Amino acid sequence: MATLESNAAPSHSPRGLRRFIRPAIAVGAARFGAGLLGARGRYQRTTTDMPDGTRIATWIGGTTTGRPVVFLHGFCGDHAAMRPLAQAVADKRPVILYDARGHGQSDDFGTPALMQTLAEDLLAVLNAHAPSGADVVGLSMGAQTIFETLRLTGDASFVRFVFIDQSPCIASGPDWPHGLFGEAAAADIAAARAEIAAQPRKLANAWLRGLWRSDERLGMKLLLSPSMLTGLRHVPDATLRLADDMLQQDWRHEVRQLTKPILLLYGGRSIYPGAGRWMADTLPHAELELFESSGHALVLEQPARAARALRRFLTSA
C-alpha cells in the first residue's frame, strides 16, 4: 500500500553480513536481559480486570516505594518491547507494564476496536496499580493511548510524560504535514483508510516496509523481536481495525494543554520527527532528543541511548 509509505525514509542496499551482526547481537542481548529479569522474579505477572470482563495481562516490578512508571507499547507489539526501558529505572521506581487489549497475552477486543477503549484500559490499570498518580511512557500507539486519555480525563493522573515517536495527529492535512501520510491529499488518505478497513492484512505489509523502516538493518531486528512475534498473534483481527480509528483522531488540542514535564524521543529517519519538533516548540516544559540515525523503532535500534535518556528524565527529581 504505497500511500502509507509516502513519508518514509528510503532504504539502502545491503553492504554485507557485518551490517546484520551487531544489531542481531544487540537485540538478542537486550531480549536475553529482559528474560533474565523476568526469570529472577523482578516482575510479577498479574491480571487487571476491566469492567467489561476483559483481562489485561500486567507485570509489576521495580522498587516498592516511589511514584510508579507505567509503560505502554506500540501497535502490534507487546510489553516485552518496553522491558529494557523499564529496567533502566526499576532500581529507583516501581514499574508497571501491560499488554494492550488485542495484543500479546491480553484478551482480544469484544467490542469495536477504538482508541477510547485503550484509554479506558489505561485508566483502569492506573486505578488498580497507581491510584495516586504515575509517570507514563508511551511508544507509538502507547503515546496515542495517552493522548486519548488526556481527552477523556485530562492530565490529573500523570506527573511526567515520555512520548516516543508518535504524532498527535497521524492523518495529514493542509495545515499538518507531520502525520503518517506526509503531505498527501485528503482524497488519498480517505482511499487508504478505506483500503485498510476492507483488507486490514495489507496494513501489516505497509507497516513492515515503510513505517518501521530506517535502514536495511531494521528488518533483522524486527525478525529477532519476540515482541513483534507475540504481538502479531492477533493480526488481522481487531488489532488492525484500530488503524481506521487512529487515522480519524486529532489530539493536538489535548497536547497543547499540557504544562507538565515532557520528554520527546523521536527518530530522525522516522516519518514523525516534524511532529516531535512541533511538540517541543509548542509545549513549555518539553525537551526533544532526536535519534538522528534511527527510525520509528528507535528503542530497538538504540536501546542503550533510549534507556539513558529515560533514566535521566525520570530519576532527576
Domain-located, residue 202: no
Domain-located, residue 98: yes
- The residue range of the domain holding 114 is 43-184+227-268+278-293+306-315
| Confidence tier at 12 by pLDDT (50, 70, 90) | very low
pLDDT digit string, tens, across residues 158-180: 999 999 999 999 877 778 889 87
Domain-located, residue 157: yes
Domain-located, residue 21: no
- Please, what is the Cα angle at 297 between 230 and 39, to 5 degrees? 45
The mean pLDDT of the chain is: 80
- Would the pLDDT of 67 be above 50? yes
Q: Are 71 and 223 in contact (CB under 8 A)?
A: no
Torsion of CA 194, 250, 161, 95, to 10 degrees: -30
The pLDDT, as a whole number, for residue 125 is 97
pLDDT digit string, tens, across residues 38-66: 434 479 999 999 999 999 999 999 999 99
Pick 266 or 198 by higher pLDDT.
266
Domain-located, residue 119: yes
What grid cell was written down for 61?
Answer: 516490578
The total number of structural domains in the chain stands at 1
Q: What is the C-alpha to C-alpha distance for residues 121 and 51, in angstroms, rounded to an integer? A: 9
Domain-located, residue 191: no
Alpha helices (H) in the chain, listed in sequence order: 18-39, 83-89, 115-129, 141-153, 186-198, 201-206, 217-223, 226-231, 238-247, 252-256, 273-282, 298-301, 303-315
Any idea what the CATH number is for the domain that residue 247 is in? 3.40.50.1820
| Confidence tier at 11 by pLDDT (50, 70, 90) | very low
Domain-located, residue 24: no
Q: What is the C-alpha to C-alpha distance for residues 53 and 32, in angstroms, rounded to an integer? A: 33
Domain-located, residue 288: yes
